Amino acid sequence: MTVLIIEDEELAAVTLQNMLVHINPEIQVHAIVGTVEAAVNWLQNHQADLLFMDIHLGDGESFQIFQRVEVSSPVIFTTAYDQYTLKAFKNQGIDYLLKPFDEEDVRSALTKLSNIRQTTINTPQLVQKVEEVLGRTRNRFMVKVGKLIKTVPADQVAYFMADDKYLFLVTKDQQNYIIEETIGSLEPKLDQDNFFRINRKFIIHINAIKEMYKLSRNRVRIHLSPKPENVEVVVSEERAEAFKRWLDQ
pLDDT at 205: 97
Mean pLDDT per 10-residue section of the chain, whose length is 249 residues: 92 93 92 93 92 88 88 84 54 72 87 62 47 62 89 95 91 93 82 90 96 91 94 90 86
pLDDT at 248: 85
Identify the burial level of 107 via C-beta atoms within 10 angstroms of its C-beta, where 0-12 means exposed, 13-18 middle and 19 or more buried. middle
pLDDT at 168: 95
Q: How far is CA 143 from CA 138, 152, 184, in A?
A: 14, 7, 18
